[in-house]
Amino acid sequence: MSKIPVIVSPMFLVSTTEMVIEAGKAGVIGSFPLLNARTAEICAQWLIEVKNGLDKDIPWAVNFICHKTNNKRYDVDLELIRKYEPPIVITSLGHPGEVIDIVHAYGGLVYSDVAHVKHAKKAAQAGVDGLILVCAGAGGHGGTLNPFAFITAVKSFYKGKIILSGAISTGADVAAAQLMGADYAYIGTRFLAAKESNAQEDFKQMVIESTIEDILYTNSFSGVHANYLLPSIVKAGLDPATLQPKDKIDLSHLNGVKAFKDIWSAGQGVTSITKRETTKEIVDLLIQEYSAALESLKKVEVKL
Give helix 40-53 / helix 17-26 axis angle, nearest 10°: 20
Give the Cα-Cα-Cα angle 167, 257, 93 (nearest 5 degrees): 50
List the domains of the chain with CATH numbers.
6-196+278-298 (3.20.20.70), 201-262 (no CATH)
Question: 19 and 279 in contact (C-beta within 8 Å)?
Answer: yes
Among 72, 70, 83, smallest CA distance to 62 is for: 83
Give the Cα-Cα-Cα angle 135, 136, 141 (nearest 5 degrees): 75
Question: 112 and 130 in contact (C-beta within 8 Å)?
Answer: yes
Beta bridge partners of 132: 113, 163
CA distance 29 to 285: 15
CA distance 161 to 60: 16
Sign of the Cα torsion 233, 235, 239, 243 reads negative
The pLDDT confidence band at residue 247, using thresholds 50, 70 and 90, is: low
Q: How many other CB atoms are found less than 10 A from the CB of residue 5?
A: 19
pLDDT of res. 255: 44
Q: Averaged over 123-135, what is the pLDDT?
A: 97
Among 79, 70, 75, 241, smallest CA distance to 141 is for: 70
Give residue-wise pLDDT tens across range 56-97.
Answer: 999 999 999 998 877 889 999 999 999 999 999 999 988 999
Q: Is the pLDDT of residue 196 over 60?
A: yes
The residue among 245 and 175 whose pLDDT is bigger is 175
Say which amino acid occupies 252: S
Give residue-wise pLDDT tens across range 133-150.
Answer: 999 999 988 899 999 999
The pLDDT confidence band at residue 302, using thresholds 50, 70 and 90, is: low
Q: Averaged over 125-138, what is the pLDDT?
A: 97
